[in-house]
Chains A and B, each alone.
Chain A
Amino acid sequence: MDVSQYLDMFIEESKEHLQACSEQLLALENNPDDLAIVNEVFRAAHTLKGMSATMGYEDIANLTHKMENVLDAIRNSKIRVTTEILDVVFEAVDDLELMVQDIESGGDGKKDVSKLVDTLNRIEAGQPLDLTTEPAATTEEATTEVVTTTGIHYDEFELTVISQSAEQGFNALEITVTLRDDCLLKVARVFMTFEILEKSGEVIKTIPTVEQLENEDFDQKFTIVLLTQEDAEDLKAKVLKVSEIEDVHITHITDEYVRKYKQALLNESDIDTEPEVIDTTITPMVQDMITKEAPKEAIKTKKTASSNSNKTIRVNIDRLDILMNLFEELVIDRGRLQSIASELHNPELNESVERMTRVSGDLQNIILNMRMVPVETVFNRFPKMVRQLARDLNKKIDLEIIGAETELDRTVIDEIGDPLVHLIRNALDHGIETPEERIANGKPEIGTVTLRAYHSGNHVFIELEDDGAGVNRERVVGKAIERGIVSPEAADSLTNKQVAELILASGFSTAASITDVSGRGVGLDVVKNTIESLGGHISIDSTEGKGSLFQVQLPLTLSIISVMLVELDEEVYAIPLSSIIETAIIQKADILNAHNQPVIDFRGTIVPLVDLKDIFEMKNRSNEEDEFQSIVIVRKGENLAGLVVDSFIGQQEIVLKSLGEYLQSVFAISGATILGNGQVALIVDCNALIK
């Protein structure tokens, strides 16, 4: 069976199931006695096992199978949930994630998991850790086999594959081929039969084994278990075409069988273990639950899948990107039409251009919305990370996530993960104190880290708040002076907020000692740069002894932005509206000089003026004697600057384009766009203009 066409789906779904596993396992850690959670994890692992087996990724199937055994032992109350066990299960989930990632990047998903499998086996058998149960029954369970009417043994693994493929419309057939007594080349006939059958489906089992068949180590009969969508009669006719074949007998393995066997299998193991279960009062209930649960399992997973597909459709992101690109072309043409219409003054043309503008505006919203992804896809890897880090650092930490459903454009989502990982590591390592310190300071032993996302205006805010030690002013200022980031005189006048934000400066690390978690030579300045390259902004509020709040502000999308077009000597530049506070026209006489730097008094704030013509090396300074000066007040964080321009053209939505590989970084230019008249206009990078 060619499975390559299902690969994308497999990868997506595997990720979902693994995510579900991680989430439920975290929940389980908090409620070790909640068997419903174990069932959830079991179900996710189970589906994953079936899928990966069908796709031929045996290492994944193998590892999930072992994980499932452990989970099964937990839900049968054979072993109790402990942190140590969960650590191993988490490790298994991590490995599975790596394997799926490997497949995604074109690998074969193979990984040496034997050690982990051993550990899982030992846990399942209750051997190494101080568990209360005896190993005997559970090890047997995995090998328990069922016998069908035709006398073929199936283990639980194979049954799962069969029931999984049944969901996808495949029939499982037992095909027994009898060769003629005088058959001379038995191996050749087997080979021919295989060739026929493999064209119509997938062979999952043979009796005797393939090696035995190859060595001609069988009498006149052999049986093949095939997953196929083809009709049994057709197959029979095909196989009979091979000469020297006496008879072909085909039995259909129905769902009914599979379910019955599975149930039998479960019952069997339950009966086996009953005498050894310690808490007998729970057992009948659990057993009852399981017998009810097991047959339904296949149906249930199918149900959830179909209810999802009613509402959503998976679209390849490449297609959405193409749609976005096409739409960008449309936005540019719309701009062009608008400028033509405004020159022609034809009312009918104006009217249709206006209508088109409105419709395309709506269309733009829809397309942008289609590309929106809940920030959950980034957030959901953090609980596990925090758990692991807290253990590594010997700290007690609660992670609270708020607003995971907040949506962001995919382009932003792709970039924001790493900076957030960095911030969380920082908060855990430097922010939250050790339990002893916390108790000594009169705080609850468990530290709280809150990750929050919400929309506000045209921006998304992501906040990371902790109730840790906060930023130590003295230490930060000391370090900043030592590194030459601020002068000792200037340091005194800094506000607490400014001091806190010093830790974002490059080459700054307040860690007294380099730990494994942070202090790898990469500072928060990298985080700051990444966020700013996305058109975002980061600020820190911190109270010593109370905790810190990191606030990241991000644009909703990166590809279409609103700008103010300005003119400078017949050259047109675009200034992003997100940086603009307002525009003003001032009198030349109001321009003051401070240290040779022209400044203006803007509502009580001294704002330095930046002459764009100087920055952009323009030779022509024609309107020097003009009495008035147009100014765009822009900001970067708290700092303001006034950009001197010749005139304002107006506000417009533009499509962001890069300058290409050749011009990799142009000072004070963040990109380009194409205007309505087909000309290219450059976009001013206000962040580069303000210190």
Chain B
Amino acid sequence: MTKATEVSDMKVIVFQLMNKEYAIGLDVVESIEKSLSITRVPRMPSYVKGVLNLRGVVTPVVDLRERFDMEYKEFDETSCIIIVSHAGSEVGLIVDDANDVMDVPTSAIGPQPEVVGSVESEFISGVAKVGKRLLVMLNLEKVLQPIKKGNSDEF
């Protein structure tokens, strides 16, 4: 473990989606789960995969690829579910791979360049350049806007 030398360092979990690297703060991550059986919830936007039983708590699961309008991919052996705690409850995010925890100096986080890729800019809070790696910082607030009656067809 690298020791945080600066107060302004931010610990993040790095995960993959379509060969790009994304990051979310470690402070909101509860756990990373490998395949758990998901129960479909009817009449939900397609990116809501359903709910799963996370040690007795019914937890909704969102497929980030579909949330970002990316190409669909089956859940495979590298896929995993990152459980984040958001607004007092837990939500699972399906990602292609999650394998890295690292420190990102807050000074390295900048506003995102105009064209970053296929992900809509509203889901992104910034971009961090660490060495040669470019990490896209996720804006959980936007990604996990509650699903209510009426806004379920926002896409």
Chain A interface (Cβ within 8 Å of chain B)?
328-329, 332, 571, 615-618, 657-669, 672, 674, 678-682
Contacts and interface: CB of A to CB of B under 8 A. Distances in A.
Contact of A666 (B41, B53, B56, B91): B41
Given A663-B48, A663-B146, 19 more contacts: A617-B43, A657-B57, A657-B58, A659-B51, A659-B60, A661-B87, A661-B146, A662-B60, A662-B89, A662-B147, A666-B41, A667-B43, A668-B43, A672-B39, A674-B58, A678-B53, A680-B51, A680-B58, A682-B39
A36 to B, nearest CB: 52
Contact of B147 (A617, A664, A681): A664
Given A571-B40, A680-B53, A662 B58 contact: no
A570 B83 CA distance: 26
B88 A666 contact: no
Given A329-B56, A617-B43, A674-B53, A663 B90 contact: no
Contacts of B41: 659, 663, 666, 669, 682
B52 interface: yes
A223 B89 CA distance: 58
Contacts of B59: 660
11 contacts: A657-B57, A659-B60, A660-B90, A662-B147, A663-B146, A666-B147, A667-B42, A669-B41, A672-B39, A678-B37, A680-B50
B93 to A, nearest CB: 11
Contacts of A571: 39-40
B3 interface: no
Nearest to A613: B42
A424 to B, nearest CB: 32
A332 B56 contact: yes
A664 B56 CA distance: 19
B132 interface: no
Contact of B42 (A329, A658, A669, A681): A669
Interface string B34-70: 0001011111100010111100111110000000000
A427 to B, nearest CB: 33
Contacts of B58: 657-660, 672, 674, 680
Contacts of A674: 53, 56, 58
A155 B152 CA distance: 69
B39 A664 contact: no
B129 interface: no
A659 B52 CA distance: 10
Contact of A615 (B37, B42, B86): B42
B133 interface: no
Contacts of A666: 41-44, 147
A668 B91 CA distance: 21
A681 B59 CA distance: 12
B147 A663 contact: yes
A174 B90 CA distance: 60
B27 to A, nearest CB: 18
Contacts of A679: 37, 39, 53
Residue among B40, B50, B51, B146 having the largest count of chain A Cβ atoms under 10 Å: B51
Contacts of B148: 664-665
Contacts of A332: 56
A616 B91 CA distance: 22
A663 B40 CA distance: 13
Interface in B90-140: 90-91
Contacts of B87: 661-662
Residue among B37, B60, B149 having the largest count of chain A Cβ atoms under 10 Å: B60
B4 interface: no
B60 A667 contact: no
B48 A616 contact: no
Contacts of A328: 56
Contact of A672 (B37, B43, B51, B146): B51
A667 B149 contact: yes
B36 to A, nearest CB: 9
In the A-B complex, list the 7 residue pairs whose CB atoms are closest, starting with the nearest.
A616-B42, A680-B39, A661-B89, A660-B89, A672-B58, A657-B58, A662-B60
Given A329-B56, A674-B53, A679-B53, A662 B91 contact: yes
A680 B50 CA distance: 10
Residue among A328, A616, A618, A674 having the largest count of chain B Cβ atoms under 10 Å: A674
B144 A662 contact: yes
Contacts of A616: 42-43
A218 B43 CA distance: 82
Contacts of A661: 87-89, 146
Contacts of B37: 678-679
Contact of B60 (A617, A663, A678): A663
Contacts of A682: 39, 41-42, 51
B89 to A, nearest CB: 4
Nearest to A672: B58
B146 A664 contact: yes
A594 B59 CA distance: 41
B21 to A, nearest CB: 25
A638 B53 CA distance: 36
B106 to A, nearest CB: 28
Interface string B6-48: 0000000000000000000000000000000101111110001
A660 B60 contact: yes
A667 B39 CA distance: 16
A678 B60 CA distance: 15
A143 B58 CA distance: 64
A23 to B, nearest CB: 40
Contacts of B144: 662
A675 to B, nearest CB: 9
Given A329-B56, A660-B89, A665 B149 contact: yes
Contacts of A662: 60, 86-87, 89, 91, 144, 146-147
Residue among B40, B42, B144, B146 having the largest count of chain A Cβ atoms under 10 Å: B42
Contacts of A660: 58-60, 89-91
A663 B53 contact: no
Residue among B37, B41, B52, B89 having the largest count of chain A Cβ atoms under 10 Å: B41
A680 B57 CA distance: 10
Nearest to B144: A662
A300 to B, nearest CB: 48
A662 B143 CA distance: 11
A669 B147 CA distance: 14
A663 B45 CA distance: 11
Residue among B39, B40, B91 having the largest count of chain A Cβ atoms under 10 Å: B39
A647 B43 CA distance: 22
Contacts of B89: 660-662
A664 B89 CA distance: 12
Nearest to A333: B56
A674 B52 CA distance: 9
A663 B44 contact: yes
Nearest to A671: B58
B154 to A, nearest CB: 14
